Amino acid sequence: VRDCIQKTLTEWSSKIGQDLNQEILEVLECTVAQAIEKINPEERDELKVSAKLFVVGSNSSSIRDAVDLEVCLLLNLKSRAAYISISQEILQYGTSLSLEYLQPYWQELENLVQNKKIVAIGTSDLDKTLLEQLYLWAQVKPSSNQVNLASCCVMPPDLTAFAKQFDIQLLTHNDPKELLCEASFQEVLQESIQNTKAHEWIPLWLLRYSVIVKSRGIIKSKGYIMQARRNAS
């Protein structure tokens, strides 16, 4: 992830020049157009788009921002984004997740399903108890739950039984707990773009997406999208 961000920022900054005035850098839209393979509408039915959203801190609106402002625009999906499935992992350090904490995030996801922006939503790293609580409370039920391979080599029997009973797909992943820390992002920003006051920028969310050809099971394209906020003093 760090390498991808650094390469994008470096290439972007080389195109616009390094003489930007630090006073006007309130919003940076760092994209490299030729690196983004937009979906051809004629091929849309042959492709499956999936994404996993990593939210840093307590900011449920990040979900809506990621889908409405980033994914649909960059991938050229717009109103035909009905095949996106998003699996949400909330990064909390030193705190146990609870249903009350998950609810505002899940409501944002449900709104996106109801508005036909995405077709399926899932969770990541929920144990049987919390997954059951969420399932019973939610209007739109989770279709999948990811389990970290680092936490177990065998699926917990109670989680497996619950998932089977309610037709929830259990998947595995090996994402680290901290995919991109604040200090690492600021270091990359400082190295890549001058005059940005890197220490003022804080990452809000990171989204990893992949576009798969359904009939062949191959990855057509994949990448990361992220958003950061500047806390100017």
- CB atoms near residue 59 (< 10 Å): 16
The answer to whether residues 151 and 125 touch, using CB atoms and an 8 Å cutoff, is yes
Q: Has residue 163 been placed in a domain?
A: no
Q: How many domains does the chain have?
A: 1
Residue 208 token pair = 């990893």
SS3 letters across 42-77: HHHHHEEEEEEEEEECCCCHHHHHHHHHHHHHHCCC
Summarised one tens digit per residue, pLDDT across range 104-127 is: 889 988 998 888 888 888 888 889
Give domain status of residue 39, yes or no. Answer: yes
* pLDDT digit string, tens, across residues 129-180: 999 999 999 999 999 998 887 766 678 899 999 999 999 999 888 888 778 8
> Is pTM beyond 0.85 here?
no
The whole domain housing 191 covers: 1-15+26-128+176-230
Look at residue 20 and tell me if it is in a domain.
Answer: no
The alpha-carbon radius of gyration of the chain (Å, integer) is 19
Structure tokens at 144: 């999948």
Which amino acid would we find at residue 27?
Answer: V
